[in-house]
């Protein structure tokens, strides 16, 4: 990733895009839910900027992943926290990186275990190529293309920083 990413500017652009999307869609009181960890960090910042009425929700999708048996139990498995009834609510689902689509599928499975929302709007900070499932974001902070073996990671919560790691061990580039 050759261009440095100003995360604060990106979050402001995402907040403006989310607000415009909700207004155009006539979503009066959407419920924002962040996917633990990175998505929840981003959702917290967006939630504060947008001044949404309901408390921020958090999803832990560890037990909903289809690759759970190959990944094993994560050391920090915190419960999901949904602050309100989600039936017939417009949900803004927030994640840090959209890649294969499997995390979002798992998040939607968990959301539907709590009820049936009117809609789900997907907001992601980074969209990268490589979908395995037909899932796309409604609001994207930045689209990037990485080389084989590279992964993008959001670290935080304060400060939020993005890094590109090469799994072959040739280095890391950080931006924030």
Q: Which of 98, 40, 99, 102 is nearest to 71 (CA)?
A: 102
H/E run at residue 112: helix 102-114
pLDDT > 90 fraction of the chain, expressed in percent and rounded: 61
Looking at residue 2, its pLDDT comes to 41
* Topology of the domain covering 7-175: Rossmann fold (3.40.50)
Interval 89-106: pLDDT, tens: 999 999 999 999 999 999
Query: HEC states along 25-94?
Result: CCCCCCEEEEECCHHHHHHHHHHHHHCCCCCCEEECCHHHCCCHHHHCCCCCCCCCECCCCCCCCEEEEE
Kindly report, residue by residue over 27-52, the tens digit of the pLDDT.
989 999 999 989 999 999 999 999 99
pTM as predicted: 0.87
């Amino acid at each position: 990733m050759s261009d440095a990413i100003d995360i604060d500017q990106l979050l402001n652009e995402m907040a403006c895009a989310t607000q415009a999307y909700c207004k155009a869609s006539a979503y009066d009181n959407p419920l924002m839910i962040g996917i633990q960890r990175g998505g929840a960090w981003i959702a917290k910042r967006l939630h504060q900027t947008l001044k949404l009425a309901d408390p921020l929700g958090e999803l832990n999708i560890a037990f909903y992943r289809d690759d759970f048996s190959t990944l094993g139990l994560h050391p920090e498995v915190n419960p999901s926290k949904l602050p309100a009834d989600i039936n017939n609510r417009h949900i803004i689902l927030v994640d840090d990186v959209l890649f294969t689509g499997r995390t979002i599928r798992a998040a939607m499975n968990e959301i539907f275990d709590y009820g049936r929302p009117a809609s789900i709007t997907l907001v992601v900070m980074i969209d990268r190529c490589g979908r395995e499932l037909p899932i796309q974001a409604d609001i994207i902070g930045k689209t990037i293309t990485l080389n084989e073996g590279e992964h993008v990671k959001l670290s935080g919560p304060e400060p939020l920083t993005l890094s590109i790691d090469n799994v072959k061990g040739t280095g890391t580039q950080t931006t924030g």
